[in-house]
Amino acid sequence: MLIPITYREIHIPAMFISIVLGYQLASYFLYLYFKNRDENLGLNRLLLAFSGFFAFLVTAFLFRTLEEHYIGGTLLNEIVNKSMIIFVILSVWSFLLITYTSEFHKIVSSKISKLILISNIIPLVVLVILDTSHYIVQLSMIPNTLGLFYMLFLQLKLLNRSTGNIKRRLGVILLGEVIFGIALVLGGKGVPILLYSPEIQWLFAIILAIFAELIIFIAIYKFPAFLEFEWRENLIKLFILDQKRLSILYSYNFIKNDEIVNNSDEFFNRDRLLTKGIIGIDDIIGSIRGIKTHKLEVIQHGNFLLLLRSGDIEYKSLTFALLIKKEMNSMRYFLTQIKKQFQGFYRDIFAEYELLNGEQVEMFGSFDLILKDLLK
Amino acid sequence: MNNYGYPLTGGLRESILTIDWIIIFLCLELSLMLLVRYKNTPKETRRIQDVGYTILFLAYMLMWIGLIFADFYAADLLTRRLFLTFGYLSLVTGVFIFVLIIEKSFNIWKENIFSILFLVILVLAGINIFVEFDLKLVISITFWPLLAVFLIFYLKGLMGRGYNPHFKGFVVLLIISMVSLFFGFILGSEMILDILGPLSKLIADIFHLASVILLFLFFINLPPFSEFDWRDKIESLFIMDSSGLCLYNKFFKINSENINENLITGSLTTIKLLLEKITYQRSISVFRKKGGSTTIIYPGKYITGVLFCDEDLMSLKVKLFKLVNKIESLYWTIFSNWNGNMEVFTPIKNISARIFLY
C-alpha cells in the first residue's frame, strides 16, 4: 500500500530539478566558452551569452519558488518579487549585451541592438521606484519582451548561416528555448488557467521546462566550436583533378586578396606538385599497406588540411580536393555538394569525355557560377 | 511513521525528497549524454562502452526511484520491500550488463570472470526474492565488495592504457566520486538511520549528489573510449633517417618476412619531402583513408617516425611524438656525426617497447 502523494511533494522537487538543470546548462555553456576561447572566434561569445541568459533566468525561477513556497512576509514578498523580475530582465539584457559585438553586427543591425539594449534599462529604473503590482511596471516590461524576440531573431539568423551538424544543434536549442518559454508563460503569475486546475497547469509547465532543459543540454553536449560558422574563411583552394590524364580540370582560389596566392609562380608550381602529388601519395600508401580499394580521404600536414573525395563510378577518374585550414563538418558537406554539382552539371560532357582531348578543360571554368552559388 | 522507521517524516522529508529527485534527473541526463556521445561518434571509433555506462546510469536511476517509493511512500513493510527489491534488482541487472559490455571490449583480468560472478549474484538475488523477499543481505555481502574489486581492476587497466598526462587526475576524480558514493550508502543505511535519524539520510544524499556531480565532470572530460584501444590499432612502426634509411621497424600484426622496409621508408621519405615542398612546413602529417586506416608521419630534427594504424587516434600521435623525441634526445651526438653503423640503434627496440607497451 502507498501513502497519498501530496501536490507539494511533486511540485517542489520538480521546481528544484528545473533550477539545478538550468544552472547546469549555464555552467556547461560557460565551460564551452572557456574551452574554445583560445580559438579567438567572435561568435563564441554566443556561448557566454547563453550562459548568462540561463543563469539569470533560473535565478529568477529560484526566487519565484522561494516566494511561492517559503516566504510569507509581505515586505519580503515584494523584495523577492522585484528581484525575480530584475533577474528576468537581466537574463535578456545580458544576452544582448554580450552579443553586442562587431561579429554579431554582421548578422543583425547594430542600431536596433543598441536601441533594444538601452530600452531595457527602463523597466529596471521603474522597478526601483514603483511596486511590482503597478500597471506601469507591467507596461515597462514591453522592451524586455521585444528584447526576448530580438534574441530569438538573432538565433534564427545564425541558424540560417549555418550548415550540417551545427544547424541541427542550433535548431534543437531554439526549439528547447521556445518550449522553455511556453513553460514560463504557462507557469507565470496571473496567466489564465487552461488545464483543469492551477496545480495541474503549473506542474505541466515545470515538466515542460525540465524537458526543454534536457533537450538543450543534449543539443549543446560537445558543441562544435563556432568555427563552423566561419567555414568560408577557412577555405583555401579547390581542385578537381583527372587522375587518368594527370591534369587539373578545375581550380578555384578562395583567398582572393592574397597577393602571394594570386601572383606567385611558386604557388603555381606548388599547385602542380600538389595535384600530381596527391595521386602519387594515394598510390604509394595504397601499395605499402596493400589497401587499394579505399581511397585517401584526408591529408593533414601542419596548418594545412586536404579533404579528398573520389568521383562516383561513372566519374572514377575524378578526384575532388579541398585545401582548408581546419577540419570541420561543414567542409565535408561542402565538398560533397561540389562533387554532386560538378558531376551533375557536366554529366553529358563526361559521357563523351574519352573523345575529348585534354585541351578542352576551359569548359569547366563555367563551374565558377555554381561554386559561388554554393558559397552563399 | 510506522514502527520500522518508514516512511520518512519530519522537517527534513521535503529536502531529502528533493535531493533524491535531483539525483535521479542527473543520472537520466548522464545516461542520455553518454548515449548521444555514442551516437555522434563516427562508426570506426565508436565504442560500446558508452552504451554500457548508459545502462549503468539508467539502472542507478531506477534504483533511486525504487528507494524514493520505499522510503517516502510505502505504507507497510511489504510494500517497502517490494520497491527496494525493484530498485536493487534494477541495479544488479544494470551492473551485470555493464560489466558484460566492459569485459567484452576491455580485457580486465580473466576472460568474463566478473560477468560470470555478477550473473551468479543476479541469480542469487532472483532466488532470494522468492525465499525471503529481502535483497539487502545479498547486496551488502556480495554485490558491493565485488563491484569495488571490479572497479579497482578496471581503473588499473584504464590507467595503464591512458596516454593523456591529465588522465590520472580524471581517475582521481572518479575515485573521489566512488568514495563519496560509499559514504552515501553507509550513512543512508537503515542501521545508521536508526541511530542518527533523518539527518544521516540528508547527509548521505548530499554525498550521493556530490558523487553524481563528480561523475558528470569525469565523463564530460573523458576522452573517447577508442583512445584506450590504441594498442590494438597499431599495424607497424618505422623509424627512418632523413635520407629514408630504415633505422628500426616493428610489425605488430603482419608477417614481415617478405617486406623490404627500406623500400617502404624510402617511399615515405618521398611523400614527406613532397609535402614539405608544397606547404613549406616541416610538421606532422596524417593520411586517412576511407574506413579509418591511417598513416602518421612525425618528422623530428634527425629522424622521422611513421605509424601505420587502423584508426586516427590522438593517443598514437602522442606516443609517436614521445618516441621520436626520446630517440633524438638519446642519440643527438651520434646523429650529428653518424658513420653508418646500424648496430648503435639496437636499443631503439627497448625504447619503443616501453612506449608502445609490447
Task: Classify residue B230 as exposed, middle or buried by CB count within 10 Å of its CB (0-12, 13-18, 19+).
Answer: buried
Instruction: State the average pLDDT for chain B.
Output: 85
Residue A109, pLDDT score:
85
- Enter the C-alpha cell of residue B331: 642519440
- Give the minimum alpha-carbon distance from A325 to chain B in angstroms, rounded to a whole number: 12
Convert the pLDDT of each residue in A82-104 to its tens digit: 888 899 999 999 999 998 888 78
Report helix, strand or coil for A194: coil
Contact A13 B267 (CB under 8 A): no
Q: Mark which residues 15-54 of B lie under 8 Å from A by CB.
A: 17-18, 20-22, 25-26, 28-29, 32-33, 36-37, 40
CA-to-CA separations, A225 to A35, A164, A220, A364, B312, in angstroms, rounded: 9, 13, 11, 35, 20
Taking residues B139-154, report their average pLDDT. 84
> Percent of chain B at pLDDT above 90?
25
Q: What is the mean pLDDT of residues B15-44?
A: 89
Q: Is A40 left (phi over 0), alpha (psi -120 to 50) or beta?
A: left
Which residues, numbered 272 to 331 in chain B, qualify as contacts with chain A under a Cβ-Cβ cut-off of 8 Å?
274-275, 277-279, 281-291, 293, 295, 308
Please answer whether residues B320 and B299 qualify as being in contact, where contact means their C-beta atoms are separated by less than 8 angstroms.
no
CA nearest to A210 within chain B: B25
Residue B224, preceding peptide bond in cis (omega within 30° of 0): no
Asked whether the beta carbons of A106 and A42 are under 8 A apart, the reply is: no
Which residues of B are less than 8 Å from A210 in CB distance? Answer: 25
Q: Which residues of chain A have a pLDDT value below 50?
A: 259-260, 262-264
Q: Percent of chain B scored above 70 by pLDDT? A: 94
> Across-strand partners of B354?
none
Nearest in space to B134 (alpha carbons), one of B83, B95, B92, B168: B83
Indicate if the pLDDT at residue B4 is higher than 70. Answer: no
DSSP state of A2: B
Q: Which of A285, A295, A306 best probes binding to B when mutated, by most B CB atoms within 10 angstroms?
A: A285
Contact A284 B235 (CB under 8 A): no
**Whether B37 and A221 lie within 8 Å, measured CB to CB:** yes
A300 contacts B26? CB cut-off 8 A: no
Nearest chain B alpha carbon to A165:
B40
Interchain proximity B270–A284, CB inside 8 Å: yes
- Between CA B3 and CA B76 the distance in angstroms is 10
Question: Looking at the partner chain, which of A3, A218, A288 has a beta carbon nearest the beta carbon of B32?
Answer: A218
Interchain CB distance below 8 Å, A274 and B14: no
Q: In sequence order, what are the residues at sequence separation of 6 or more whose Cβ sits closer than 8 angstroms to the Cβ of residue A313?
A: none
Q: Is B350 exposed, middle or buried (0-12, 13-18, 19+ CB in 10 A)?
A: exposed
Tell me how far CA of residue B128 lies from CA of B84, B121, B131, B133, in angstroms.
13, 10, 5, 6
CA angle (B13, B19, B22) in 5-degree steps: 140
Task: Establish if B140 touches chain A: CB-CB under 8 angstroms.
Answer: no
> H or E stretch including A244?
none
Task: For B110-120, write each residue's pLDDT tens digit.
Answer: 788 899 999 99
Q: Tell me the β-bridge partners of A240.
A: A250, A320
Q: In this predicted structure, what is the pLDDT of residue A259?
A: 47
DSSP for residue B139: I
Show the cell assigned to A139.
507596461
Q: Do B287 and A210 touch (CB under 8 A)?
A: no
Measured between CB atoms, does A110 come within 8 Å of chain B? no
Q: Residues B70-104: pLDDT tens digits? A: 989 988 888 888 898 899 899 999 999 999 999 98
Q: How far apart are CA B177 and CA B184, in angstroms?
A: 10
Query: What gap in Å lies between CA B49 and CA B161, rounded to an integer?
Result: 15
- Grid coordinates representing A14 are 520538480
Contact between residue B234 and residue B51 where contact means Cβ atoms under 8 Å apart? no
How far apart CA B296 and CA B195 sit, in angstroms, is: 62
The answer to whether A221 contacts chain B (CB < 8 Å) is yes
Do the chains contact at B74 and A2, CB–CB below 8 Å?
Answer: yes
* DSSP codes joined into one string, A45-56: HHHHHHHHHHHH
How far, in Å, are A78, B202, B219 from residue B27 at the CA level?
37, 18, 12
- CA distance linking residue A292 with residue A250, whole number of Å: 26
Residue A277 is nearest to which of B37, B267, B274, comparing CB atoms?
B274
**Cα–Cα distance measured from residue A48 to residue A55, given in angstroms and rounded to the nearest whole number:** 11
Q: Pick from B277, B137, B264, B83: which is nearest to A272 by CA?
A: B277
Q: Which residues contact B163 (CB under 8 A, 6 or more apart)?
A: B227, B230, B314, B315, B318, B319
Name the residue of chain A whose CA is nearest to B290's CA.
Answer: A294
Please choose, from the candidates A169, A227, A263, A254, the residue with its C-alpha nearest in 3D space to the C-alpha of residue A38.
Answer: A227
Distance CA B335, CA B241 (A): 9
Of the partner residues A20, A217, A294, the one whose CB lies closest to the CB of residue B291: A294
**Does B27 have pLDDT greater than 90?**
yes
**CA–CA gap between residue B84 and residue B190 (Å, rounded):** 12
Judged by DSSP in three states, A243 sits in coil
Residue A305, strand partner residues? A300, A324
> Tell me, what's the pLDDT at A376?
67
Q: Name the 3-class secondary structure at B4.
A: coil
ipTM of the complex: 0.76
- Name every residue whose Cβ is closer than 8 Å to that of residue B126 and which is 6 or more positions away in sequence: B89
Of the partner residues A9, A28, A291, the one whose CB lies closest to the CB of residue B17 = A9
Per-residue pLDDT band for B164 (boundaries 50, 70, 90) equals: low
Phi, psi of B163 (to 5 degrees): -110, -25
State the average pLDDT over residues B269-285.
Answer: 78
CB A237 within 8 A of CB A250: no
* CB contact (8 A) between residue B268 and residue A9: no
What residues contact residue B114 under an 8 Å CB cut-off, 6+ apart? B99, B103, B108, B146, B150, B153
- β pairing state of A318-324 and B246-251: unpaired
Q: Give A-chain residues touching B291 at CB under 8 angstroms.
A: 291, 294
Scan residues 66-95 of B and list those with Cβ closer than 8 Å to A: 69, 72-76, 79
The residue-averaged pLDDT of B174-183 equals 90
- The number of C-beta contacts closer than 8 angstroms across A and B is 133
* Sign for the pseudo-dihedral over CA of A132, A138, A142, A147: positive
Distance between A301 CA and the closest CA of chain B, angstroms: 4
Q: Which amino acid, A114?
A: K
Taking the C-alpha atoms of residue B29 and residue A238, their distance in angstroms, rounded to an integer, is 42
Interface mutation target, options B290, B294, B296, B312, chain A, most CBs of A under 10 Å: B290
Alpha-carbon gap: B287 to the closest alpha carbon of chain A (Å): 5
CA B345/CA B341 separation, integer angstroms: 8
**Contact status, residue B304 vs residue B272, Cβ threshold 8 Å:** yes
Per the CB < 8 Å rule, is A299 touching B286? yes
Q: How far is CA B157 from the centre of its chain?
A: 9
Q: With an 8 Å Cβ cutoff, are A273 and B278 in contact?
A: yes
Which of 148-207 (A) contact B at CB < 8 A? none
Q: pTM for this structure? A: 0.78
Instruction: Tell me which residue in B21, B36, B279 faces A302 most closely, judged by beta carbons.
Output: B279
Nearest residue of A to residue B22 by CA position? A17
Closest CA to B145 of B113, B182, B104, B192: B182
Report phi then psi at B118, rounded to 5.
-70, -30
Residue of B nearest to A1 (CA): B75
Query: Touching check for A6 and chain B: CB below 8 Å?
Result: no
Which H or E run includes A312? none
- From chain A, the residues in CB contact with B278 under 8 A are 270, 273-274, 277, 301
